[in-house]
Structure 1
Amino acid sequence: MSENATSSSSADPRVRLAYERTYLAFERTQMGWVRTALSFISFGFAIAKFFEWVREQHPANGPLLTPRAIGLLMIVCGLAALLLSELQHRRALKVIRKECPGLPPSLAGATAAFIAVLGILALLGVLLRQ
């Protein structure tokens, strides 16, 4: 009896639309995390590059925690947030795809991967530039 109830409820267009709305909510949440991570990465890169330029103009001994270190930390935090959000996003999509298999591929996941590559390049750019 439970198999018939499941079959009939999955054929209901309202149930399908509910799964699609949930899927889109997951996508919006992931894009929110991508924006947050991108902000961390770009602001960290800007801090590191700006204070590197200031140091070239006015060389002096700086404090223990330099602006470059803060910039690197922000880039790493952005990449970590992106990684953790992508893991959560994949786990959520795996659950919803079991119930509703015809959902499209995640564009938010592809965007997160692209931003992660840019973040890694920014991190390498700051690390390799002494």
Structure 2
Amino acid sequence: MHPSNAYDAAVVAVATACRTGDSLTVSTWLAASVVAVVDGEGERTGRGSVSTLLVQHATTDHQSSVSVEWVNGQSGLAYRRGGRVVGIAAISVEHGLIERVWLVLSPDKLHHWTLGPFDLDQQED
């Protein structure tokens, strides 16, 4: 199944806001009951906590970045630092809002990710 335009719009909007550190805009794309599951850290709940989590990994330092990439058969987020993948977020969207995020940060689980982003947010229709 191909993700809907609403799904892709939510993921692209969050990635764009993360790049500029705009957690307020990120939170507008999150459901009130949003849950993020972070490997090794457990769950975070609520718009404030999850938006901060998503933004902080994109703005850690001047070498940090986030891109929209294919994750588990649909668009998700890839976080890089110095060109190396340091996090992958799989996302679930319902009714145009992000309901769940699964964030993988373990280097052992990320070794297979390549350096070239899929750049879904840069594709033309």
- TM-score range for the pair, normalised by the shorter chain length: under 0.3
Q: Which structure shows the higher strand fraction? A: 2
Greater relative CO (CA pairs within 8 A, separation 6+): 1
Q: Which structure shows the higher helix fraction? A: 1
TM-score by length of 1: 0.24
